[in-house]
Structure 1
Amino acid sequence: MSDDQYNIFTEPPDELGEYEFHFGTFAVGAGGMNEFEVARAFGEAADRLLATAAERRESWEAAYPILFCYRHALELYLKALMPNERHGHRLGDLAKSLKPHIESRYPADQVSWLLDRIAEFDRLDPKSTVFRYPDGAHSSYKAGAAPDPETWVDFSRLQRSAHKMFQGFERIRLHLLDSDLHR
C-alpha cells in the first residue's frame, strides 16, 4: 500500500516498543502531558526553530513561528501556575493574577524584571494573534495602540530572556506546589 492510502491519525502500531526509536507520538487527548510539560515543549520548539534559522542564516522566514512558540510557552507557564483561575490569552491579565502570589516571596528586582518581560510580549501580541495569522495585528490592537512596525527582535536576547523566564517559572512552580495557588 502507498503512504497516501493510510490515515495520519491511527491506532498505535503493533510493533510499537519493539524498536529503539519509533518516529511518532500519541496525539491530542491522550492526557500524556501536563500543563508544564506542554509549556516546556513549546519553549523547546522555539529553541529548535531558532537554532535551525541561525544555522541557515535565515531568521525572517521562521520569525513568526519562533515568536509564537515563545509567546505561547509563556502563556502556558502563566496558566499552569494558576490552575484554579479563569484564563484568557492576555498576558497582562495573567501577569496581574500572578503578581500577588509572587511579589512577597521573591526579590522585588526579580519580580519587576519578570513582569516587565511579560509586559513586552503583551504589548507586541496582546491577544495571541499577531504571530498566528497574517492579519493578526489588525485584530490585536486598539486603534492607535499598535507598536512601531519596525520593532526589532534580537533573537539571541529573546532566547536568553525566555530561558530566564521559564527557569523562573519552574522555580516558582516548585515553591508553590503546597501554597495557596494550588489549594
Structure 2
Amino acid sequence: MPNYEMEFSVSEAAKYFGTERDRIKKWAYMFSDYLEPAANPPKGTPRQFSVEDLRVFAYISYYWEDETDIEAIKIGLNTDGHYDDIYDNFIAGLTPLFIERPEGLNEDWRHGALFDGMSEYGDIFELADSYKNAGDILVDAAIDNDEAFELVNPILFNYRHATEIYLKATIGKWKKTHDLIELQKEFIEILKSEFDATLPKWFSDIVLVFNEFDPKGTTFRYGGRAPREVWVDVRHIKTLMGWMSKSFWKIRNRRLGLQDFD
C-alpha cells in the first residue's frame, strides 16, 4: 500500500537505511534540531518521521562511521548538504505517485493539481476540456519540436477521448460504450428536440473519422493497423477540435440559461 500520508515509523525508517531501530532513535535525539517535533514526541507517544526527517537521516547515514564526526555532519546540515541531488533522488524514490494534501498548499503551487476523483455532472465538460487541451499542447509541442510523427497517437487519443466525453456529458447518460456513432445519434436527437438544429458536416466528419480509425477507443491508445493510408494534419485537427469544444459549451450554457461568450 503506498504511503500517501508520507509519515514513517521508527521501524520503517530503520528499514530504509538498513540499520537498527535504536540507531534511528539515537539519530533523532542527537540531531533533533533538524527534525520535526514529532520525531521526538513526549514520552508515551510513538515517534513519527516526516519525509524531510528522512532526508536528514539519509545525509546522516551517508556520513555515519564507527567514529563519526558529529559536528561535521551538523555543519553539512546547516549548509543544506542534505539537499544535494543524491538525497533528492532518495526522496523521489520513496514518494508515491500521489500523496495526501500537503500542508501550505496554495495557488503558488503550480507544479501539480489537487485531484478529488470524478467530479459531479456539471464539471464533466471541464474534464472533456482537459483532454482536448492536452491534445492542443501536444500539437504545439509536436510542431515546435518537429515530432508530429512521434506524438500523433497521443494527440489523436486525447482528441478522440475528449469527443467521447463531450458527447456523453451532453447526452447525460454514461453508457458503458465507446461507440461514437451510437452517442452521436442520441446527440442529434437532442439538437433537434431542444434546439431545432442539425449537425454541421465538419462536426459529424470528426466523429465518423475517429470511429473509423478507432472504433473501440483502443487503437490510438494501444496501437493497431489503420484501415487506410491518410495524411494527418495535427494543426487542422486542433482547429476543428476548438470548434467542437465551443459548440458543446454553447449547448451547455444555453441549457443553463447562461450567455454565450466567444
Q: Which residue of 2 aligns with 1:181?
A: none
Q: Tell whether 2:113 aligns with 1:25.
A: yes
Name the SS of the counterpart of 1:103 in structure 2: helix
> What residue identity is the alignment partner of 1:169?
F
| 1:73-105 Cα distance to aligned partner (Å, 9 max, x none) | 111100000113634111111001111111362
Name the SS of the counterpart of 2:244 in structure 1: helix
Moved over 6 A (4+): none
Which of 147, 151, 159 is matched with 1:58 structurally? Answer: 147
- Asked whether the 8 Å contact 1:79–1:87 carries over to 2, the reply is no
> What residue identity is the alignment partner of 2:189?
P
- Asked whether the 8 Å contact 1:36–1:80 carries over to 2, the reply is yes
Higher relative contact order (CA 8 A, sep 6+): 1
**53 and 113 in structure 1: CA distance in 2 versus 1, 3 angstrom threshold:** closer
Which of 241, 251, 256 is matched with 1:172 structurally? Answer: 251
Name the SS of the counterpart of 2:168 in structure 1: helix
Stretch moving more, 169-178 or 67-76: 169-178
Q: Specify every segment of 5 or more residues in structure 2 that has no aligned partner in the other structure, as ranges.
A: 1-54, 56-89, 258-262
Q: Tell whether 2:240 aligns with 1:161.
A: yes
CA distance in 2: counterparts of 1:173 and 1:14, whole angstroms: 36
- Asked whether the 8 Å contact 1:42–1:72 carries over to 2, the reply is yes
**21 and 130 in structure 1: CA distance in 2 versus 1, 3 angstrom threshold:** same
Looking at CA atoms only, which structure, 1 or 2, has the larger radius of gyration? 2
- Asked whether the 8 Å contact 1:102–1:111 carries over to 2, the reply is no
> What residue identity is the alignment partner of 1:158?
I
| TM-score, normalised via structure 2 length | 0.58
- Asked whether the 8 Å contact 1:16–1:22 carries over to 2, the reply is no
Q: Tell whether 2:99 aligns with 1:99.
A: no
CA distance in 2: counterparts of 1:31 and 1:101, whole angstroms: 23
- Asked whether the 8 Å contact 1:87–1:94 carries over to 2, the reply is no
> What residue identity is the alignment partner of 2:227?
P
**123 and 134 in structure 1: CA distance in 2 versus 1, 3 angstrom threshold:** closer
> What residue identity is the alignment partner of 1:20?
D
Q: Which residue of 2 aligns with 1:147?
A: 227
**Counterpart mapping for 1:67-82 below 5 A:** 67-82=156-171
Deviation at 1:172, TM superposition (A): 1.4
Q: Tell whether 2:201 aligns with 1:122.
A: no
Q: Specify every segment of 5 or more residues in structure 1 that has no aligned partner in the other structure, as ranges.
A: 138-145, 179-183
Report % sequence identity: 33
Q: Which residue of 1 aligns with 2:49?
A: none
